[in-house]
């Protein structure tokens, strides 16, 4: 199995992309720490499902925008497993409102979770990974962070994570740690399916369908496993949509 014996942390594991990535990693042999902020019931349900597959799982509640919560999550991981091989930064916030209706509180929250939260998690695992001289860090970004969308806070936060990915890759490369990102367009999750332009966007995907969470999970698995000589890269997983992606998405 690709990730046999590896220890992975997945943030925002209770729903959507995080949930599917967690199961994909588990089926490839990883032992997992499943982080959630509010989706406790969904996360515990996933944990029970994985334990039935004889996967070692630890669930940890924590808000990635809070440094103390992230430090506690990393400590609990090291206390249980002794090392951290993979970090998958997935926790995210999206406010689907018009720019004129975006409040400062919404902006601050989106930046705090999506961008600062990713930084917190990278910074917190870096010490352990440096000691190991190895590690795989994967961030979830968005084509909206590359082209822009009307969801100003979300696009700004994901654009920041793209820059963070490239910068952290340079910082951590001397320690054998890679930092990459998976970059979907619209994903068929509860969050993605609320997009009011859903049908129009789906119709403009060259491969003829929306990205499924499983599609993104396969890309994340590649970066967590076989991608040994890639770092600072943004792996676009959108069915060829990027070149025609509308700023109205």
Q: Look at residue 152 in the predicted model and tell me its pLDDT.
A: 96
Beta-sheet strand order (sheet of 31-36) = 57-61, 31-36, 7-10, 86-89, 135-140, 177-184, 234-237
3-state secondary structure of 62: coil
Give this prediction's pTM.
0.92
Q: Which residue in the list 36, 88, 119, 154 is annotated as catalytic?
A: 154
Catalytic residue status for 154: yes
Q: Beta strands 57-61 and 177-184: pairing type?
A: unpaired
Phi, psi of 183 (to 5 degrees): -130, 95
Task: Report the CATH fold assignment for 7-244.
Answer: Rossmann fold (3.40.50)
pLDDT digits (tens, 9 = 90+) for 174-198: 999 999 999 998 787 766 555 666 6
3-state secondary structure of 105: helix
pLDDT > 70: percent of the chain:
92
Determine contact, residues 143/92, Cβ cutoff 8 Å. Answer: no
pLDDT digits (tens, 9 = 90+) for 59-114: 999 999 999 999 999 999 999 999 999 999 999 999 989 999 999 999 999 999 99
The partner residues of 181 in beta bridges, in order of sequence, read 139, 234
Q: Which of 96, 184, 106, 94 is nearest to 138 (CA)?
A: 184
pLDDT digits (tens, 9 = 90+) for 130-161: 999 999 999 999 988 998 888 999 999 999 99
Q: Look at residue 192 in the predicted model and tell me its pLDDT.
A: 52
Q: Look at residue 248 in the predicted model and tell me its pLDDT.
A: 40
């Amino acid at each position: 199995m690709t990730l046999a014996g590896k220890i992975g942390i997945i943030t925002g594991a209770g729903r959507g992309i995080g949930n599917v990535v967690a199961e994909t990693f588990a089926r490839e042999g990883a032992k997992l720490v499943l982080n959630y902020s509010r989706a406790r019931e969904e996360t515990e349900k996933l944990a029970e499902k994985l334990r039935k597959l004889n996967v070692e799982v630890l669930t940890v509640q924590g808000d990635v925008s809070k440094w103390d919560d992230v430090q506690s999550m990393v400590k609990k991981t090291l206390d249980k497993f002794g090392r951290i091989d993979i970090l998958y930064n997935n926790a995210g916030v999206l406010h689907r409102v018009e720019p004129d209706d975006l409040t400062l509180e919404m902006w601050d929250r989106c930046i705090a979770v999506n961008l600062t939260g990713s930084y917190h998690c990278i910074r917190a695992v870096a010490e352990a990974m440096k000691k190991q001289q190895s590690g795989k860090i994967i961030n979830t970004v968005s084509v909206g962070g590359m082209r822009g969308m009307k969801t100003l806070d979300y696009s700004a936060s994901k654009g920041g994570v793209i820059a963070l990915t490239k910068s952290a890759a340079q910082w951590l490369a001397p320690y054998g740690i890679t930092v990459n990102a998976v970059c979907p367009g619209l994903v068929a999750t509860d969050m993605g399916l609320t997009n009011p332009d859903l049908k129009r966007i789906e119709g403009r995907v060259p491969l003829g369908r929306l990205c499924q969470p499983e599609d993104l999970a396969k890309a994340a698995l590649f970066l967590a496993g076989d991608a040994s000589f890639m770092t600072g890269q943004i792996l676009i997983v959108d069915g060829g949509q990027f070149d025609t992606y509308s700023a109205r998405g």
